Each structure stands twice: as C-alpha cells, then as structure tokens.
Amino acid sequence: MSPREDTVLSTMQDVPLLVSRILTHGSTIHGSSQVTTWTGEERGPRRRSFAEIGARAAQLAHALREDLSVTGDERVATLMWNHSEHIEAYFAIPSMGAVLHTLNLRLPAAQLTWIVNHAADRVVIADGSLLPLLAPLLPHLKTVEHVVVNGPGDRSALTGAADAAGVRVHDYEELLAGKPTAYDWPDLDERTAAAMCYTSGTTGDPKGVVYSHRSIYLHSMQVNLAQSMGLTDRDTSLVVVPQFHVNAWGLPHATFMTGVNMLMPDRFLQPAPLAEMIERERPTHAAAVPTIWQGLLAELTAHPRDVASLTQVTIGGSACPPSLMEAFDRLGMRVFHAWGMTETSPLGTIARPPAHTIGTDQEFAYRLTQGRFPAGVEARLTGPGGERLPWDGESAGELEVRGAWITGAYYNGPDAEPLRPADKFSEDGWLKTGDVGTISADGFLTLTDRAKDVIKSGGEWISSVELENALMAHPDVAEAAVVAVPDDKWGERPLATVVLREGATTDFTALRAFLAEEGGIAKWQLPERWTVVETVPKTSVGKFDKKVLRRQYAEGGLDVEQL
Ligand code: ADP
C-alpha cells in the first residue's frame, strides 16, 4: 500500500532489533559485568567479563564461518550445561546470522536424535563431560558434519564414532585461538530466525519453536521490566534453569541488556552445591522450576547456610505449591511465580501483586496466581464450546495468547510450510496453550490444570494441581502428584501418589481427611486411590512426569490402596 498524501509518516529510524545489538551493548556498556561459572573445584569458580565474552563470541563466529564454513541460516546446536562458553554460543551463532539450536541433554537418546535430524543441525558444540551421551548418537545424526568439544572430558569414545560417521571433531579453545576479537555482525532482517528450541514433550512429541531476533529483543525488554524480573547491574542472577529450557527463560539476553551478573551452576545442580554457591557467591536472584526449590529447601533445612543475599526467586515451569512459597518467605527469599511455555519465549505472566494489595491479606493470594499479563501478551479464555469466557476470576476455560514473542506455528523443516495444527492454533492465529484456568478482572491468571491432566469425573473437572498443593501442605508429604485414572462409574477419578518424608507417621485415611479439613477439597473430589512412591518421576526439565505415572498405573506397576 503506498502512503496516501495526507498520511503522516513516522520519522523514526528503522533499526532492526538484533541479538548482535544486545551483545554489543552488553559487552561495551556493561563490559565489566561478569559471568561466573561454578567448577566444584578447590580453586573456585571461573569468571569472565561481558567484554571478554563479547570478544570470544566474535572469535567463535569467525571460527564457525571460516573454519567450519557455517553460512546463512544453518543450525548450530549446543549440548551444554549453563556456563560462560554457552553464553558465547548464545550470542555468536544468531549474531552471525546462523540459528542457535539448544539441545536438551536430559532427553532420551531417540528423541534427541529425532530433534537433531528434524532441525538438520550441521554443527554440535558439546561439553566434554557430555560426550558419552553424544558419541552413541553420532551414527544416527544425518546432517551433523562437525562436533566442537568444550572443556575437559574423555574424548576417546567420540573419536571412533566420529570417524565412522564422517564427522570432524574440533576443540573449542583451539578453534577460537588467534581469531580476531571483533566481528562485523551482519545487518539482518529482524524477523529472521535466531534460535530454536523444541518443547520437552511433557504431553506429546517434541515440537520446534523458532525465535526471531525481534522476538528475543522484545522479550528481553519485557524480562527487564520492574514488573517482571526487574534486575539491574547491582544484581547477580543464579541461572539454574537450563540454557536448553526455553533460552534459560530469557535471562542471558536480558542480563546483557542491563549488565546483571550471571552465576552459572554448570553441571552442579544438586541441592548441596547450589546451597554452597549461594552462600559463597551471594546471588540476589535465582530462577528455576519448583522441584529444584523443593530440593534446596530440604537441604537448607537439614544444613542451614547463610543465603540472605538471595531475596528474589523466580519460580515457573509448573505450579508453585503454596507450602513452598511460605517456606521461602520464612527464609527471607521472596518468590515470584511466573507462567510460560517454550511457545511463549517463555515469559507469559509473572505474579507481582497490585500495589493496593501489598501488606493486606490479599497479597499472598495474588502471589500464588500465575500472574499478570504484561503489555505485549494478549490473552483470552475459551470454553469447551468455543465460546469466549469473561475475566471474572471464576469462569474456567483454555487460555489462548497472542503477541510478538509468542509462536504462531511449529517448525517443519527448512523449505516446508510451518505447521499450524488446529488443536494448537485458533483459526485467527492465537496460540492455544492447553492450560486451563481463570483470569481475574485485573488480568491475573490462575491455572487450574493442563487440559491433558485435568481429571474428568462424571462430567465435572477436578484440578490435579489443587489436590497436589493441598497434599504437599501436609508436614509428612515431601512430594505429591495426582493423575486421572479410568473409572467404570465416573469415567475418570484421581489417583494420589505421595512421597513421604523420613519418619512420617501418617496414613492414607488421615491424608484424605487432611485434604477435606485443611485443604478445603470438596468431598466428591477426594481421591479414593492412593499409593506411596519413592520419588515422583520427572521430565527432562524437572516437572512431574504424569505420562509415566499413568502408564505405571495402567501396567499394574503401582501398589495402589483403595479407601
Ligand atoms: P513442556 O510443555 O514440554 O512441559 P514447557 O516448558 O514449554 O515444556 O512447558 C509449558 C507448560 O508448563 C505450560 O503450558 C504449563 O502447563 C506449565 N507451566 C509453566 N509455568 C507454570 C506455572 N507457573 N504454573 C503452572 N503450570 C505452569
């Protein structure tokens, strides 16, 4: 459309929003901010400034372009823990115009192989410590030509497999050595692909989501809002959420915009080293899924440490149990609950209570919600018949969202049309999240369940999350997961699987009574099937794996007691 004569044209410069601009900004304006990587060794952690990371990202880009001839939008995968080299890859690959593909190192081998082949990755940058995982896959990776090995690790297994598969093996530091420390980053179209991530497949096959430079840039600004994480260069963020789990929730990019220091746990994700790194490195912020925090809480209870620096904790990925939030409050750590998905970059909501509720008895209830939608994320609720539901805090429906950092399709190969399955995208292009909940008049989302996890009992819905939260509030319960199981009379009924704390004295009848009396659970929603498990199975990103529980039940693998 050509501008009409009376159209006022914007006078603003059209500067593309690129990952390279975030890198250049962070490595100059905030050049002295640091990425600290835990080593678990006596000599202490490794430290690298943002300026050094900028220089090394340029060297990596030169190496990829000149030695490995990566061109255009070729995919360069990473199979790495959280550390400074992974940050270098995060910036170098998109900035040079290629596409960063973060691989989830906890996926089963078959799924990982499928994902690499589907994305047609040409290069894999892998930690030496992860070679035992990568080597057996190599013969099955159809498009991989180069493996770049970072850090120590036994490389012998890789050599044989690589030779057989015709793959060339390089050393990360050797590739970088001597390369120029500046790169003339190309002026890309901001809508081009910058990074890709596959969903972890909690409820189905993995699906590829491709982020653009523009979406990453805008999402990073939203992460930095005071009403989101709101960190500054006075902060240090402990990034526990893996860099392969939706861009570590946007933290690497957001921190380079504002100079927030990063503390990276590498492979030391167990409660004891996490507690130690908090005490020694004194981060002010941390981000991880609830299961990590449950573990840390148990550790801190058993072995108290000085964790007073950590005043802000972002919890998301699955619902934060109220008991966990209360326990962290007692430790002086303030939990901010957030909701998001691979498809939403991921930050979709974050729970910062409205000003007028602070200090009132409404405040805690607001903090327990999944949170408020920021500018840039539009939301609507759809009922079972496709009708729009009001934002009244009561009408529950499937959440649909739209926005500049929300995917409008799934990746389907370099030359193929993206996929828009009808169960995932509405006809008018909104993402159907598969999450069921309510929205209050002031825009706070409360999720009651995932559409696939909700228990459909006699035409009514029972929220598995509500039962789990109520159970986990019992002092004898360490973890609880509730799944739907088939029932002749009601269609489905809840099965409660509980992990008991050491020395627990309770029984199922008492737990059921606790749910009714303390948890406020309606009588018809109380589970009659119960089982004790040693641990709740977890997905590759640390969420309760309800698929596995349902299968174990179906195969008779659980010792179930019926009340
Ligand atoms: P996967 O779908 O494979 O688990 P994602 O990490 O993309 O991978 O998961 C997104 C889903 O996680 C959401 O659709 C939602 O069901 C769940 N989720 C994320 N954050 C929260 C939260 N704060 N409360 C409840 N559920 C959440």
Tell me: pLDDT of 184 over 70.
Answer: yes
Handedness of CA 263, 268, 269, 273 (dihedral sign): negative
CB 543 within 8 A of CB 289: yes
Residue 415 has a pLDDT of 84
Q: Can you tell me the distance from the alpha carbon of 423 to that of 432, in angstroms, rounded to the nearest whole number? A: 7
User: 114 an active-site residue?
Assistant: no
369-373, 384-388, 497-501, 535-539, range with the lowest pLDDT: 384-388
| Domain 453-562 CATH (choose: 1.20.5.510, 3.30.300.30, 3.30.70.3420, 3.40.718.10) | 3.30.300.30
Q: Which residue has the tokens 């906890």?
A: 106
Closest-lying ligand 1 atom to the alpha carbon of residue 202: 3
| Domain 16-209 CATH (choose: 3.20.20.70, 3.40.50.1170, 2.40.10.120, 3.40.50.12780) | 3.40.50.12780
Q: Which helix (H) or strand (E) element contains residue 536? A: none
- Per-residue pLDDT tens for 114-162? 999 999 999 999 999 999 999 999 999 999 999 999 999 988 888 888 9
Angle at which helices 19-28 and 251-258 cross, to 10°? 50
Active-site position among 456, 460, 509, 524: 456
DSSP assignment of 150-169: ESS---HHHHHHHHHHT-EE
Residue 2 has a pLDDT of 57
Residue nearest to atom 19 of ligand 1 (CA): 317
Residue 452 has a pLDDT of 82
State whether the beta carbon of 317 lies less than 6 angstroms from ligand 1.
yes
* Domains 16-209 and 453-562 belong to one CATH topology: no
Bridge partners, 100 (sequence order): 76, 195
Sequence-ordered strand ranges (E) for 323-476: 334-340, 347-350, 371-372, 377-382, 388-389, 397-403, 431-439, 444-450, 455-457, 460-462
> Looking at residues 318-342, what average pLDDT do you find?
93
- Per-residue pLDDT tens for 19-77? 999 999 999 999 999 999 999 998 999 999 999 999 999 999 999 999 999 998 999 99
State whether the beta carbon of 316 lies less than 6 angstroms from ligand 1.
yes
State whether the beta carbon of 349 lies less than 6 angstroms from ligand 1.
no
Active-site position among 24, 36, 102, 199: 199
State whether the beta carbon of 341 lies less than 6 angstroms from ligand 1.
yes
CA of 167 to the centre of ligand 1 (A): 36
Q: Can you tell me the distance from the alpha carbon of 504 to that of 497, in angstroms, rounded to the nearest whole number? A: 15
State whether the beta carbon of 435 lies less than 6 angstroms from ligand 1.
yes
Closest-lying ligand 1 atom to the alpha carbon of residue 245: 6
Identify the residue with better confidence: 91 or 547.
Answer: 91
Give the pLDDT band of residue 532 (cuts 50, 70, 90): very high
Predicted TM-score (pTM) of this structure: 0.90
Closest-lying ligand 1 atom to the alpha carbon of residue 343: 7
User: 461 an active-site residue?
Assistant: yes
Q: Can you tell me the distance from the alpha carbon of 514 to that of 502, in angstroms, rounded to the nearest whole number? A: 19
Active-site position among 461, 506, 531, 538: 461
Pocket test of ligand 1: the residue of 196, 205, 211, 341 to mutate, having most ligand atoms within 8 Å of its CB, is 341
Side chain identity at residue 495, one-letter code: L
Q: Can you tell me the distance from the alpha carbon of 528 to that of 536, in angstroms, rounded to the nearest whole number? A: 19
CA of 341 to the centre of ligand 1 (A): 5
Residue nearest to atom 21 of ligand 1 (CA): 318
Residue 160 has a pLDDT of 87
Residue nearest to atom 12 of ligand 1 (CA): 317
Domain boundaries, the chain: 16-209, 453-562
Sequence-ordered strand ranges (E) for 360-500: 371-372, 377-382, 388-389, 397-403, 431-439, 444-450, 455-457, 460-462, 477-487, 491-500
> Looking at residues 219-245, what average pLDDT do you find?
97
Entry field: residues in the chain: 563
User: 199 an active-site residue?
Assistant: yes
- Per-residue pLDDT tens for 393-436? 999 999 999 999 999 999 998 888 999 999 999 999 999 999 99
> Looking at residues 202-215, what average pLDDT do you find?
87
CA of 299 to the centre of ligand 1 (A): 25
Closest-lying ligand 1 atom to the alpha carbon of residue 344: 7
CA of 316 to the centre of ligand 1 (A): 8
Give the pLDDT band of residue 324 (cuts 50, 70, 90): very high
Give the pLDDT band of residue 187 (cuts 50, 70, 90): very high
Q: Can you tell me the distance from the alpha carbon of 235 to that of 262, in angstroms, rounded to the nearest whole number? A: 9
